[in-house]
């Protein structure tokens, strides 16, 4: 069976699609995966403020359109870039095993976050990363940056900033792990929902192809994804709100930590809880409601207002 997989054309997206292809081939001897590369507006548009269109799924919409048009049997995305409400007519069928979840600092001068001098510019396109940096180092300057992993590294080298915060998974998957100056520990620097997880999407009701993808589903990453995404959905957060979360499956239990920050990093609401693995989604919803009651609702509304939503 030919098995076209729709993907963005960035190096990281191609790595993720190749990993999916390899897993499908290993699980099913009759499947011949092929990559359908889609150049999306999110890749082409280097000028807009990423925070503004984070919620509509700019990175995934055109790839999923190819899926919905029947040009592919499945589409492959960074789960982190997927909106909590999937594009109409699609469903999440599988996830690959989770890569490293941490954010990392890449600094031109080799300084760690604590060592950067006051006024040093730290580049990120993420409200979450900006808020986490401001919470720990309020005297640093946050500057906006756009583009794929390679573009960001080039901009850093060209002097647009003294340091970058980005995902460890993205750098390591591209073989750029030697660029990392500091792995930011997840307790102080909670990752984004779904960070490090590759998501595989099928058409709703297309059980033939769904079954093939479901067979390669990593069950730990799946439960972690369910918990983190249920949390974000409950918080009504998109993919670019100052929310960090980290779910971990250990034996039969899932533990979830979550934090909502004000954009300036001065206010923090956090909570953690655990539950039997089978209750991953309920755990995310519970923690989300707790955070909302503890003051997260206002922080999220303020963050939305700050990006003009």
Ligand X SMILES: NCc1[nH]cc(CCC(=O)O)c1CC(=O)O
Residues that bind ligand X (CB under 6 A): 78, 80-81, 149, 166-167, 169-170, 195-196
Neighbours of 55 (CB within 10 A): 19
Beta bridge partners of 258: 245, 271
Q: Which is nearer to ligand X, 196 or 265 (CB)?
A: 196
Q: Which residues contact 134 (CB under 8 A, 6 or more apart)?
A: 140, 142, 264, 265, 266
Q: Which is nearer to ligand X, 21 or 179 (CB)?
A: 179
CB of 211 to ligand X, least distance (A): 25
CB of 146 to ligand X, least distance (A): 10
CB of 95 to ligand X, least distance (A): 11
**Which one of the listed residues 81, 103, 206, 223 is annotated catalytic?**
81
Spatial separation of the C-alpha atoms in residues 54 and 83, rounded to whole Å? 8
Q: Which is nearer to ligand X, 122 or 292 (CB)?
A: 122
Q: Which is nearer to ligand X, 82 or 269 (CB)?
A: 82
Beta bridge partners of 180: none
Q: Which is nearer to ligand X, 58 or 300 (CB)?
A: 58
What is the 3 state secondary structure string of the chain? CEEEEEEECCHHHHHHHHHHHHHHHHHCCCCEEEEEEECCHHHHCCCCCHHHHHHHCCCCHHHHHHHHCCCCCEEEEEHHHCCCCCCCCEEEEEECCCCCCCEEEEECCCCCHHHCCCCCEEECCCHHHHHHHHHHCCCCEEECCCCCHHHHHHHHHCCCCCEEEEEHHHHHHCCCHHHCCEECCCCCCCCCCCCCCEEEEEECCCHHHHHHHHCCCCHHHHHHHHHHHHHHHHCCCCCCCCEEEEEEEECCEEEEEEEEECCCCCCEEEEEEEEEHHHHHHHHHHHHHHHHHHHHHHHHHHHHHHCCC
CB of 105 to ligand X, least distance (A): 12
CB of 204 to ligand X, least distance (A): 24
Let me know how long the chain is. Answer: 309
CB of 47 to ligand X, least distance (A): 17
Quick check: is 81 catalytic? Answer: yes
Q: Which is nearer to ligand X, 80 or 277 (CB)?
A: 80
Q: Which residues participate in catalysis according to the annotation? A: 81
């Amino acid at each position: 069976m030919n098995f076209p997989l729709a993907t963005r054309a960035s190096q990281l997206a191609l790595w993720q699609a190749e990993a999916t292809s390899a897993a499908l081939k290993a699980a099913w001897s009759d499947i011949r995966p092929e990559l359908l590369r889609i150049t999306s507006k999110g890749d082409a548009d280097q000028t807009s403020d990423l925070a503004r269109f984070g919620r509509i799924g700019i990175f995934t919409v055109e790839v999923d359109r190819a899926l919905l048009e029947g040009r592919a049997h499945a589409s492959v995305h960074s789960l982190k870039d997927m909106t909590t409400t999937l594009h109409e007519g699609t469903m999440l069928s599988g996830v690959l095993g989770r890569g490293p979840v941490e954010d990392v600092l890449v600094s031109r001068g080799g300084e760690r976050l604590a060592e950067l001098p006051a006024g040093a510019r730290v580049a990120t396109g993420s409200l979450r990363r900006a808020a986490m940096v401001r919470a720990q180092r309020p005297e640093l300057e946050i500057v906006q940056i756009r583009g794929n992993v390679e573009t960001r590294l080039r901009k850093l080298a060209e002097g647009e900033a003294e340091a970058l915060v980005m995902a460890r998974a993205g750098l390591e998957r591209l073989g750029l792990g030697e660029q990392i100056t500091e792995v930011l520990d997840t307790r102080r620097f909670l990752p984004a929902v779904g960070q490090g997880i590759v998501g595989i999407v099928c058409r709703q009701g297309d059980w033939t192809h769904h079954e093939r993808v479901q067979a390669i589903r990593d069950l730990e990453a799946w439960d972690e994804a369910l918990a983190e995404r249920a949390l974000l959905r409950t918080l009504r957060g998109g993919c670019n709100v100052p929310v960090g979360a980290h779910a971990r499956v250990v034996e039969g239990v899932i533990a979830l930590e979550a934090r909502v920050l004000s954009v300036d990093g001065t206010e923090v609401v956090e909570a953690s809880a655990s539950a039997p693995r089978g209750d991953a989604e309920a755990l995310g919803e519970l923690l989300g409601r707790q955070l909302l009651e503890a003051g997260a609702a206002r922080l999220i509304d303020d963050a939305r207002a700050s990006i003009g939503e």
